[in-house]
């Protein structure tokens, strides 16, 4: 039986900053519309609701499923998951909270919790990937 674990992640720093800035812009748009009209309107409420939904999705939907043979990254608003076979991973570099790896010539960076980093290191060692 394959052991599967799921951890939360954030993409590389640039992608994370861009994604969170766009999300925060929805909050600011709702606030500006609310203050310009001087009383709360349905358009402001809709901006705030979309902001809350996207914030929830950005935190809870970005997960990685670590199996003994592959990594499956779920992405925010895309139905196609990023699947990386462990044998395709080259040059993994780990820091306290980030992982950088080369897959098919493309360098990928992700931010994890400490527990997620340790589990990913273990899975790569079991698959025979050398740092």
Closest to 3 measured CA to CA, from 82, 80, 65:
65
At 1 the pLDDT is: 43
Specify the DSSP element, H or E, that contains 80: none
CB 77, CB 23: distance < 8 Å: no
DSSP character for 96? Answer: S
Cα angle at 60 between 7 and 127, to 5 degrees? 20
What domains can you pick out in the chain, each with its CATH number?
5-126 (2.30.29.30)
The one-digit pLDDT tens for each residue of the chain (131 residues) are: 467 888 889 888 888 899 999 999 999 999 999 888 878 789 999 999 999 999 998 888 888 988 888 889 988 777 778 899 988 999 999 998 899 999 999 999 999 988 889 888 888 888 887 77
């Amino acid at each position: 039986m394959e052991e599967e674990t799921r951890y939360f992640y954030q993409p590389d720093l640039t992608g994370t900053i861009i994604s969170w800035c766009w999300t925060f812009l929805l909050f600011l748009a709702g606030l500006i519309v609310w203050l310009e009209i001087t009383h709360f309107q349905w358009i402001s409420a809709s901006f705030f609701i979309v902001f809350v939904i996207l914030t929830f999705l950005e935190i809870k939907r970005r997960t990685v499923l670590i199996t003994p043979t592959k990594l499956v990254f779920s992405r925010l608003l895309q139905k196609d998951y990023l699947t990386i076979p462990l044998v395709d991973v080259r040059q993994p570099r780990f820091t306290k909270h980030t992982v950088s790896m080369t897959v098919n010539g493309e360098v990928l960076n992700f931010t994890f919790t400490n527990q997620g980093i340790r589990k990913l290191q273990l899975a790569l060692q079991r698959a025979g990937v050398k740092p």
